[in-house]
Structure 1
């Protein structure tokens, strides 16, 4: 397995620029890329929340790829922010954004385009607004047969275009949208029916929800053999009897509820040996310190534990 730093954790470094609006300069990027290389990551997973690649010219993108090459880092994947393709006012714009993302992935040499079919949050939200949103999260069963058919058709067109330049789509397990559980990820995968489309079993996305949901182990086992890209992070979760809802809190992969030693072992048994994007550190505090610890933990599992377990 190869490990990537998820640049979504760097979004706070764009302050005071609004999220999704800034393109870090080469000088801005250099210390982060050097740190990533020195800490043993194999590449980056590029999020548009950190770098607004939609505003970059092809020449700018080629220069960025050259900078990555200079640090001996791959861009393994592009991770555009939540892109609902049906039942949302921005559905058409999101489809155009994903098609442009295929072009960007091709220039940067990224093999994967992550697709999160979830409703976006506003760039700025109060705590009260965020709490209210948690009571109205969309779920897979909220979508009609016509919605599923339309989403599949749009993704078939995207996959066919991506195949021309050897780019694969990875449908992400993600709350607040049509792929909030593994059964829906596999349903859409079957409807799309393209060889260059797989799934991304981002377990924390499915686990952190405030309502009862599937066991994360069941979700991983269901999706493991269909995985082509894997986002990893963790949280703790407990039931609040006073509200009848579950409350989650971001946590390190070592301390969170998801047992990543078990998860890596299950993925290994399923034959997965691809890119893993570490998304830890997106909460308050120093994200680089958090992701460094989780990278070391995850790397030790891949390097040391699998050498024993995989015999």
Structure 2
């Protein structure tokens, strides 16, 4: 095949190996526990079985387990070993644990959240998970009315709400957590997450620098930073800033528009293809910074499994067919 004048392309060379793997984020399965409340359900072996088999048959390499779907904090060691065996039997890795919104300062649940994170390190080790995701945000209650949810959007916490002392206290706690995690071969990933102290890339990176541990990096969850109702950084700027320190990546998307009547932004969930965030561009930029870790898809809404399957196929095509072209 001939490209530009004087350049010969051999299709056999438009290939390449990558260690990038794709996980299904079980945040999208949380509604399947209904009417059991979030954060306290433990799906049984039989309840998990069809989801795990479907995930593997759909081409995913692993799962990213959220405690909104499975309360691993209260599971026994025997139950956790059973879960790991079940994952092994279908050929899925547990790539990460994702404890829900665990701010560790300036909140009534701060001490409890810190305990949850240390427990999560132990569980990650038992399940063979490489990463523990850190969403340092304010927790929602397990059940909220539409009115309560709407009101919450007007009082979202932001990075500038936290003092230097708050950041130092958080960094000190995360250093201890990272040191414990290192003994279990677990890495921490500080997530870009709204409604907390890392709602913009500068704050996630500041905390990463302050923690200063080799097993700590960042997770540029772009939709989290983009979906907020107030003006914020461009998602491209966030990605470029965080790319060199990225060790784990949550992906999902949305559309966002300014509402003149309210002076605020309104966002709605969308697929990776249809949302405002260009994931071909984002993946390319991470690839340029040698990212070759786990990507966890958090797409949802409606039939979440249908949505996430389509987004998996899209992302897989980028990895197989687009990224090799970047090596020419």
Counterpart of 2:239 (choices 220, 225, 232) is 220
Deviations 1:67-94 (A, max 9, x none): 1000010000000000010000000000
**Deviation for aligned residue 1:142:** 0.5
| Alignment pair present for 1:155 and 2:149 | no
Query: What are the within-5 Å matches in structure 2 for residues 272-287 of structure 1?
Result: 272-281=291-300, 283=301, 285-287=302-304
Tell me the alpha carbon deviations over residues 156-189 of structure 1, each in whole angstroms, 9 at most, x when there is no partner. Answer: 0000000001100000000000000000011001
State how 1:72-87 maps to structure 2 within 5 Å.
Answer: 72-87=91-106
Alignment partner of 1:89 is 2:108: yes
**Aligned 1:14-163 pairs, distance under 5 A:** 14-163=33-182
Scaled by the length of structure 1, the TM-score of the pair is 0.99
Distance in 2, Cα, partners of 1:139 & 1:202: 16
The Cα offsets for residues 284-309 of structure 1, whole Å up to 9 and x where unpaired, read as: x1110010010011111111111212
Distance 2:120 2:303 in 1: 29
**SS of residue paired to 1:235:** strand
Gaps of 5+ in 2: 1-19
**What's 1:289 paired with?**
306
Which ranges of 4 or more aligned residues in structure 1 deviate by more than 2 Å? Answer: none
What is the aligned counterpart of 2:194 among 143, 168, 175?
175
Structure 2 counterpart SS, 1:148: helix
Tell me what 1:194 maps to. 213
- How many Å apart are 1:127 and its aligned residue? 1.2
Q: What is the TM-score with the length of structure 2 in the denominator?
A: 0.93
Asked if 1:298 corresponds to 2:315, the answer is yes
Cα offsets for 1:114-173 (capped at 9, x unmatched): 000000111111111111110100110100111011000000000000000110000000
Equivalent position of 1:265 in the other structure? 284
Distance apart, 1:230 and its partner CA? 0.1
Question: What is the CA-CA distance between 1:260 and the residue it aligns to?
Answer: 0.2
CA deviations over 1:234-276 (Å, ceiling 9, x no partner): 0000000110000000000000000000000000001101000
Separation in 1, partners of 2:34, 2:139: 20
Q: CA RMSD in A?
A: 0.6
In the alignment, the residues of structure 1 paired with residue 73 and residue 183 of structure 2 have an alpha-carbon distance, to the nearest angstrom, of: 21
CA–CA distance in structure 1, aligned partners of residues 26 and 186 of structure 2: 20
Residue matched to 1:206? 225
Tell me the secondary structure at the aligned position of residue 236 of structure 2: helix
Structure 1 gaps of 5+ residues are none
Deviations 1:25-73, CA, capped at 9 Å, x for gaps: 1111010000000000000000011111011001110111011000010
Matches within 5 A, 1:209-248: 209-248=228-267
Higher Cα radius of gyration: 2
Find the residue that maps to 2:313 and give its secondary structure.
helix
Q: Deviations 1:176-214 (Å, cap 9, x if unpaired)?
A: 000000000110011101000000000000000000000
